[in-house]
Amino acid sequence: MRPIDKINQRKNLYLIIVAIGFAVFIGLIFIEKQLSPFIYKTILYSGLAIFGVGNLLLYVGIRCPMCKSIIGYVIVFSAGKAEQCPRCKVDLYRSQ
Ligand SMILES: [Zn+2]
């Protein structure tokens, strides 16, 4: 398995968490009027927490398999074009 495959697995998992958090917000828009303020706030903050944790994991939870430096932001902003770790220059597309 190439390092990039492991990184992409992680990235997809974290993106799913972000998507779930976002889906909670969208769902809340539609059911807002049927909820009591307490339940509304509980769901709102839960959604915020899931969304926040997902984003956080996306940036700090993705590490270089070789040097363990945090490279999540590089992977996310490069949109799949990052071919090597910015720190140790390991080729992420070469199988180990
Ligand atoms: Zn590295």
Bridge partners, residue 63, by sequence: 70
Domain boundaries, the chain: 3-78
Distance 50 CA to ligand 1 centre (A): 28
For the chain, percent of residues with pLDDT exceeding 90: 70
CA torsion, ordered 61, 62, 64, 70, to nearest 10 deg: -60
Distance 38 CA to ligand 1 centre (A): 46
Distance 90 CA to ligand 1 centre (A): 6
Mean pLDDT of 62-86: 86
What's the CA gap between 23 and 89, in Å, rounded? Answer: 37
Mean pLDDT of 61-67: 92
Distance 55 CA to ligand 1 centre (A): 21
Distance 40 CA to ligand 1 centre (A): 43
